[in-house]
Structure 1
């Protein structure tokens, strides 16, 4: 496990030094192999993007304008990042959460749902749509990740990347972000998912990642701990404005 630890520490340091990774997802498991873990955060550079909080709603989480009077364009910033249906726990950076939720409801798959979607239409960034799924009844994979993006910010060249993990590594997760770094236009995430550390309780995991994110640009963060046996879960939320 030492190699995992060293690699995850290097990647985590890169995250800490990155002023603007944008939105991020980490999926993994605690060191005792008792809980699957989902981490999701949002960041913002504009007043509209920073004017948000996470709110839990009947086991789901939604983004909400902190000050409704300052919300100028809700189209890409107000959505449900986290939902669950049956044994499936969904996390995404946009309204594709609803697409995945509805298709699973129709007995279709994570992949079939995301084949209907593409990157966000926010020219010139064309922000990637990043998504993750933990299905407690999946006999093949502990979790799945997806990145839908352009090639080099070229709108006419889209790609869909899927990553499958047969077994979770105790105490670690795999993370994807929307951007490699700050920039204009913002450069899309371009590596494989990054091995990252996880703690053994939601509060400590939330603190770990909240403290790592750039102070000026971070907006909100959530951590969801899912009991691997019962499916019961706990959600911890951190909001800069609340």
Structure 2
């Protein structure tokens, strides 16, 4: 599969929906994870990412709780950490993976208990990824059979030996539409930039300005297992004191780690 320029791909795609990108940095010492959400309706756009440090992840929250309508498919934990395993998904299957892997089950075992989202006629796919301590990773998509709500198709992709400077991207949708067509084929192979800052900023900047909502990015040091997170939110939370919601939000310890990693690369 030919490598794509992920930023150009996203810039040309009005609505890929929700997307997961996993890559190994060019130096081979770090892994990058990216997850973004987009929205077309007011309910889908009324969201922010919020850190959940006690679980090593984030949750989605209503930017304005008074405007929240149906929370069932939009409020969930996109990212959780189980030991040194990093889990990222576009729905509540994050918790399914976390719970079953905690019991010794596999990534695939967990997802075989789930199906696509019940939002007829789109039947939004469930996309998921796990990144392990050694940098290997797996991805998955659970989708309907060409819009048939009675038939699920489960696809799993295994990357046991990631290549430095490369990654893979998968999204819920192929492009905008009505109904919205599901992503097709293998995860797209893309060239990875040098730093987590470039990885996150370029991806966020490439998303459609009207439809993008939030983006999360994580850098993992493969030598130490330490990680640092970045969050971009288009819409400020009602209870937030951020001066600019489009600036990346980092916890103090995460900022220190990112400074350390950037210094080592120079």
Q: Deviation string for 1:97-122 (max 9, x for gaps)?
A: 00000011111111110010000001
How many residues in Structure 1 have an aligned counterpart in Structure 2?
234
Compared CA separation, residues 8 and 32, structure 1 to 2 (3 A): same
TM-score (norm 2): 0.85
TM-score (norm 1): 0.93
Partner Cα separation in structure 2 for residue 222 and residue 161 of structure 1: 24
Could you tell me whether the CA contact under 8 Å between 2:7 and 2:203 is conserved in 1? no
Q: After TM superposition, list the pairs within 5 Å mapping 1:1-242 onto structure 2.
A: 7-9=3-5, 12-58=7-53, 59-137=56-134, 142-242=136-236
Partner Cα separation in structure 2 for residue 57 and residue 23 of structure 1: 20
Deviation at 1:167, TM superposition (A): 1.4
* 3-state SS, counterpart of residue 4 of structure 2: helix
* Greater mean alpha carbon deviation, residues 191-200 or residues 145-154: 191-200
Deviation at 1:60, TM superposition (A): 1.1
Deviation at 1:201, TM superposition (A): 2.5
Q: CA RMSD in A?
A: 1.4
Could you tell me whether the CA contact under 8 Å between 2:24 and 2:166 is conserved in 1? yes
Deviation at 1:8, TM superposition (A): 2.1
Unmatched tracts of structure 2, length 5 or more:
237-266
Partner Cα separation in structure 2 for residue 122 and residue 152 of structure 1: 14
Q: Deviation string for 1:201-231 (max 9, x for gaps)?
A: 3222111100111110000001111111221
* Greater mean alpha carbon deviation, residues 52-61 or residues 190-199: 190-199
Partner Cα separation in structure 1 for residue 152 and residue 127 of structure 2: 14
Deviation at 1:26, TM superposition (A): 0.6
Q: Deviation string for 1:141-167 (max 9, x for gaps)?
A: 811000000111111121000001121
* 3-state SS, counterpart of residue 241 of structure 1: coil
Partner Cα separation in structure 2 for residue 81 and residue 88 of structure 1: 14
The runs of 4+ residues in structure 1 deviating greater than 4 Å are none
Could you tell me whether the CA contact under 8 Å between 1:19 and 1:214 is conserved in 2? yes
Unmatched tracts of structure 1, length 5 or more:
none
